[in-house]
Amino acid sequence: GIQVEQSPPDLILQEGANSTLRCNFSDSVNNLQWFHQNPWGQLINLFYIPSGTKQNGRLSATTVATERYSLLYISSSQTTDSGVYFCAVQRVGAGANNLFFGTGTRLTVIP
Amino acid sequence: NAGVTQTPKFQVLKTGQSMTLQCAQDMNHEYMSWYRQDPGMGLRLIHYSVGAGITDQGEVPNGYNVSRSTTEDFPLRLLSAAPSQTSVYFCASSRGGVASGANVLTFGAGSRLTVL
């Protein structure tokens, strides 16, 4: 299957700081999504972004498909941003509907 | 709308017991799937379904069975539980299947299973 690597594995920020999370993948993809898992375990979709750039409030994401990476930017971080951020991808031409997840970046925002 | 509903939220089993994790969605989504989440390993796809009557295996299907008799429901069955199946299980659904490239997964709240 496709390899999905996320970095850094852990990140601690002071409230108000900015951060960049990275997702590298080993093959061409036609589907890439970012998720946030809050401290209570709920998984929420942040972006569907197989290519290009999107913004939603303090969060934005960019995927450079030709170079096989995606970035998630968090600006002016808040304590509610704490949790684990996952990148998930589907390889072009793969068996239908297999979405592969990275191992995540655990973000802790300190007040 | 309730979205994706999973039951139970917590379950403790003894080795060899059987049980069913329930998943229901009220969004008329064609695609449904089950993932397991283990520490340090992200989420791994167990089984998925692209519509009623159609199921297929994901990355880690061994020890699990599924069926899809209706659009709304996608139960996951453990026929003979093993300690290696201790995990958090998530059900997810999307409108038309991730293969179509434009379908965002909606997850349930998860079911924490412990097998002793």
Q: What is the 3-state secondary structure (H, E, C) of A70-84?
A: EEEEECCCCHHHCEE
pLDDT, tens only, A16-72:
999 999 999 999 998 899 999 999 999 999 999 999 999 999 999 999 999 999 999
For residue B95, the model assigns a pLDDT of: 84
Distance CA B21, CA B47 (A): 13
- Does the pLDDT at position A6 exceed 80? yes
Q: What is the pLDDT of residue B14?
A: 97
Name the closest residue on chain B to residue A43, using Cα atoms: B107
Chain B nearest CA to A32, separation (Å): 9
Rounded mean pLDDT of B69-75? 97
In a 13 Å sphere around the CA of A36, the CA atoms on its Cβ side amount to 17
Residues 36-75 of B with CB under 8 A from A: 40-45, 48, 50, 56, 58-59
The reported pLDDT for the residue numbered B71 is: 96
Percent of chain B with pLDDT over 90: 78
- Say whether residue B2 is in contact with chain A using an 8 A CB cutoff: no
The per-residue DSSP string of B3-44 comes to -EEEE-SEEEE-TT--EEEEEEESS--SEEEEEEE-TTS-EE
> Stretch A84-94: mean pLDDT, rounded?
88
| Interval A1-12 mean pLDDT | 94
pLDDT number for residue B39: 86
State how far the Cα of A32 lies from the Cα of A47, in Å rounded to an integer. Answer: 8
Strand, helix or coil at B97?
A: coil
Cβ(A12)–Cβ(A111) below 8 Å: no
How much is the pLDDT for A52? 95
Question: Rounded CA gap, A35 and A42, in Å?
Answer: 10
How much is the pLDDT for A96? 57
Mean pLDDT comparison of A9-18, A86-95, B51-60, highest-scoring range: A9-18
Residue-level pLDDT at B102: 53
pLDDT above 80: residue A93: no
Q: Specify the pLDDT at position B61.
A: 96
For residue B99, name the pLDDT band (cuts at 50, 70, 90): low
Q: Name the minimum distance, in Å, from the CA of B86 to any CA of chain A.
A: 16
B18-56 pLDDT, tens digit per residue, is 999 999 999 999 889 999 999 877 899 999 998 999 999
How close is the nearest chain A Cα to the Cα of B22, in Å? 17
| Residues in Cβ contact with A67 at an 8 Å cutoff, skipping those fewer than 6 apart | none
Tell if the CB–CB gap between B44 and A102 is shorter than 8 Å: no
Dihedral in degrees, nearest 10, Cα atoms A39, A107, A10, B89: 30
Report pLDDT for B13.
97
Q: Is B95 on the interface with A (CB under 8 A)?
A: no
When CB atoms are compared, the residue of A44, A96, A103 closest to B42 is A103
